[in-house]
Structure formats: structure tokens, C-alpha cells
Amino acid sequence: MNASWNNPVVMAQVQIIARSLKHWTGRDLLPGDLSPAALAEKTFHAPFVLVAHGTEADPVLNYGNAAALALWEMSWEELTSTPSRLTAEAPNREERARLLAAVTARGFIDDYSGVRISKTGRRFRIAQATVWNLLTESGRPCGQAAMFGRWEFL
């Protein structure tokens, strides 16, 4: 694995992800009072999948930890240049769009499940995912994130 987490922009993104999760759910991304560098490193190597995208008209992934890179079978460079809609097969994109609209309206949802697809076409079902809105320090929307620890290949 590369040290994608060891970059000030990525460290800042992980801070946004963690702060936003705490805002919406009251839960910590990881336990403990960690420095930005330690949080970024531990999150990158965490046993759960974590991805995030921005607020573009066709949102592009801007973060994925090592588990996400492995699951979607992509390098950091590939993942962070992929429109997030392409992580789902075409028939499942409408369901994914409804999910993201619900998150936008409510702030977060828990216990999401759905089918996703890797770069090589490997299909998998995610389960018990938390999806939440990302906020800047001033409270402005800046994307969405998803985290899950359960998946099965189909």
C-alpha cells in the first residue's frame, strides 16, 4: 500500500470526515484523541471500508482507505478520479441516487445495504453502511462519505 494518507490534503479530508460523522451521529471515526496525522494513518489502515466524494455535479471520489482500494480493486489515483456513481452498476445507480438524496435531506442514514461493483466487474453487496453528509468547519456542505465493515461477493 502506498502512503496516500501522508499528505496534508488527505489529512484535512479525514478530519472533515471524522468531524462530520461526529456531528451527525455522535460517533467517533476511531477511538482516542489522535493527531491529524495519526487519525489519517489509522483510518487508512482501518479494518472497515471508508470512501468519500465531493459536491461536483457528478461527484468524484476524493478519499478511499486501503480497504476501499482493495475492495474496488483500484489504486489511489484511479479511485480518486472515479465518479462515485460508477461504483454501482448501471441498474443500481437510480437506487444509489435515491440514497444520496435521502442523506442530503436528513444528514445521514444508518444500516444501508446495496450492490456495488469493482473496477474488474466483481460484484459485492455492502451491508450496515453509514452514509453521511460532509461539512466544512463553518458548516457548509462539502460532500458525502460512506463507511461499512460488512460485504459479501456475489
Each residue's pLDDT tens digit, 17-68? 999 999 999 999 999 999 999 999 999 999 999 999 999 999 999 999 999 9
Structural contact between residues 87 and 116, judged by C-beta atoms closer than 8 angstroms: yes
User: ∠59-132-61 over CA atoms, to 5°?
Assistant: 25
For residue 73, tell me if it sits in a domain.
Answer: yes
Start-to-end C-alpha separation, the chain:
26
Stretch 59-79: mean pLDDT, rounded? 97
DSSP 8-state assignment for residue 59: P
For residue 117, tell me if it sits in a domain.
Answer: yes
For residue 147, tell me if it sits in a domain.
Answer: yes
Each residue's pLDDT tens digit, 92-131? 778 778 888 888 889 999 988 889 999 999 999 999 999 9
For residue 2, tell me if it sits in a domain.
Answer: no
pTM: 0.93
Structural contact between residues 129 and 20, judged by C-beta atoms closer than 8 angstroms: no
The whole domain housing 51 covers: 8-153
The CATH number of residue 48's host domain is 3.30.450.20
Structural contact between residues 142 and 19, judged by C-beta atoms closer than 8 angstroms: no
Instruction: Using pLDDT thresholds of 50, 70 and 90, give the confidence band for residue 140.
Output: very high
pLDDT for 1 equals 41
Distance, CA of 105 to chain centre: 18
Instruction: Using pLDDT thresholds of 50, 70 and 90, give the confidence band for residue 139.
Output: very high
pLDDT for 24 equals 96
**CB atoms closer than 10 angstroms to residue 27:** 13
pLDDT for 89 equals 80
- Tell me how many domains the chain contains: 1
What contacts 79, CB < 8 A, 6 or more positions away?
51, 61, 64, 68, 69, 72
